[in-house]
Amino acid sequence: MMLTLALTGACAAAGPIRTISTATPVMTQTTLHADTPAPTPVNSPRPGTASKPLPTEAKKTSDPGPICASVSEIPRSECEALAAFYLHTGGENWIMNNEEWVNKDIWLQTNTPCSWAGVACDEGRVTEIVLGLNGLSGEIPPEIGDLTKLTRLDLTDNDLSSVPAEIGKLTNLTELNLAFNDLSSLPAEIGDLANLTALYLAGNRLSRMPEISKLTKLTALNLAENDLSSLPMGTGNLKNLAGLNLASNNLSSLPAETGNLINLSELRLNDNNLDGLPSEIGNLTNLTGLELSENNLSSLPPEIGNLVNLNNLYLSGNHLSTLPPEIGNLTNLSELSLSGNGLSSVPAEIGSLVNLNYLNLSDNELNSVPPEIGKLTDLTLLYLDGNNLSSIPPEIGNLVNLAELWLADNNLSTLPPELCDGLTGVVIPPSLCAP
């Protein structure tokens, strides 16, 4: 199972690291992981701990009236909305050792709300609240709707259980991050936030989503690690999406409308129950990363060959027994993972993937490898372990850039000396080249 990220992501790159034979390298997180989120990140970074002086412990405050009555830098209604937010989300128990609190004031302890931790203002109005990983709990109060100039609301990594319908009044929001909370539902009014460009909801308990057809400005959508069995209604309208993360849900199929998302560059669908892909997936010709590991796919549509801009394709842990020859059209691929399937052969067209540097075919049922594999001269990592190979083609000797060639758990006893001479220190296990 792939460990991420994203839709928030959203979201750094990690090269392939060999730990077990079914290992899949982590996809570059440019658009998909909430840790994600880079161009239109799917996941935003979680705050670190601060090294500068931090505020002292908050005093108990049940009546913010006197403070808000003396506030002049923002409207009193906005001060009272902040106060309600503090009181309804357990403000007295907030964690104060994060970046947002460095050189900032404790909420409700001064009459200058724009200096309160995590709050930003512009022209006398509250425009941002950023309180990720701060120990917030309970319900966001309806008064949040009075902060009508908010453009960013980031409450990731807390323990919030409810969002009010009044959030629909925040029509200036461009980023809403509620990832990694305890939300089981969302109000329909989320669908009215037509200026959103990034919506991060990963790591909750959502089994359904409100309609999002109006959110046509979205470029990043992260819904990973929920309980969704279908895409939100209106997803096909989001033609500006660049990153979509639906990993770790309960999806068994994709609607044909997925093919409308023609600006997608990264799509994560790993760890679902997909048993097929619509032919319309071939419309997503701007995809550079496609993650489909750990599903129930038994075949790929030939239209997969239309995705000529793909750099990374991960298909580990499915039920594939064959690959379409159109796979050879993906000449920009640098990483291809097919481990843990039921492949008995690989098409000769794989020799066209001349930009591959990582190829994982471990734990399949391969009886042979096509000689065309010798054309993949950029390969540095080749995994063929856990198959039924009794020989390998001599053309593998052409792979002069190989750093690791994994061949364990096959029917091999030794390799030809002439092959071993060109692969010194590369073959694993080394005993296959023992004198």
The closest alpha carbon to 79, from 110, 104, 41, 44, belongs to: 110
Q: What contacts 77, CB < 8 A, 6 or more positions away?
A: 146
Long-range contacts of 421-428 (CB under 8 A, 24+ apart): 422/397, 423/396, 423/397, 426/402, 428/385, 428/404
User: CA triplet 237, 238, 240: central angle to 5 degrees?
Assistant: 135
The gap from C-alpha 372 to its chain's centroid, in whole angstroms, comes to: 34
For residue 428, is pLDDT > 90? yes
Domains and CATH numbers, the chain: 52-178 (3.80.10.10)
Question: How much is the CA Rg of the chain, to the nearest whole Å?
Answer: 26
Compute the distance between CA of residue 244 and CA of residue 262 in angstroms, rounded to an integer.
12
Quickly tell me which residue has 């950023």 as its tokens: 130
C-alpha angle 208-28-286 in degrees, rounded to nearest 5: 75
**What one-character DSSP code corresponds to residue 126?**
E
Residue 358: predicted pLDDT: 98
Give the DSSP H or E segment for 211: none
CB atoms within 10 A of CB 408: 17
Q: For residue range 117-172, list pLDDT tens digits in order.
A: 999 999 999 999 999 999 999 999 999 999 999 999 999 999 999 999 999 999 99
Position 219 pLDDT exceeds 70: yes
Give the mean pLDDT of 295-314. Answer: 98
Containing 65, the helix (H) or strand (E) segment is helix 65-69
Q: How confident is the model at residue 320 (pLDDT cuts 50, 70, 90)?
A: very high
**pLDDT of amino acid 5:** 35
The DSSP element (H or E) to which 417 belongs, if any, is helix 417-422
Length of the chain: 435
Q: Which residue's structure tokens are 């799509």?
A: 267
- What pLDDT, in 10s, does the model give residues 83-102? 999 999 999 999 987 777 88
Determine the pLDDT at residue 61.
Answer: 52
Measure the N-to-C terminal CA separation of the chain; round to a whole number of Å: 38
64: confidence class by pLDDT, cuts 50, 70, 90: confident
Stretch 336-362: mean pLDDT: 98
Alpha carbon distance 13, 280 (integer Å): 28
Mean pLDDT, rounded, of the chain: 88
* Tokens found for residue 136: 């917030």
pLDDT category at 103 given cuts 50, 70, 90 is confident
Q: Is the pLDDT of residue 3 over 70?
A: no
**Is residue 330's pLDDT more than 60?**
yes
Query: What are the start-end ranges of the H helices in 252-365?
Result: none
Strands (E), 169-242: 175-177, 198-200, 220-222
31, two tokens: 């658009």
What CA–CA distance (Å, rounded) separates 365 from 142?
A: 58
* Averaged pLDDT for residues 347-352: 98
- For residues 125 and 55, give the distance between their C-alpha atoms in angstroms, rounded to a whole number: 24
Q: What are the two backbone dihedrals, phi and then psi, of residue 82, each rounded to the nearest 5 degrees?
A: -65, -40
Residue 220 has pLDDT above 60, yes or no: yes
pTM over 0.95? The answer is: no
**Is the pLDDT at 245 greater than 50, yes or no?**
yes
Rounded distance between C-alpha atoms, residue 161 and residue 167, angstroms: 14
CB 397 within 8 A of CB 34: no
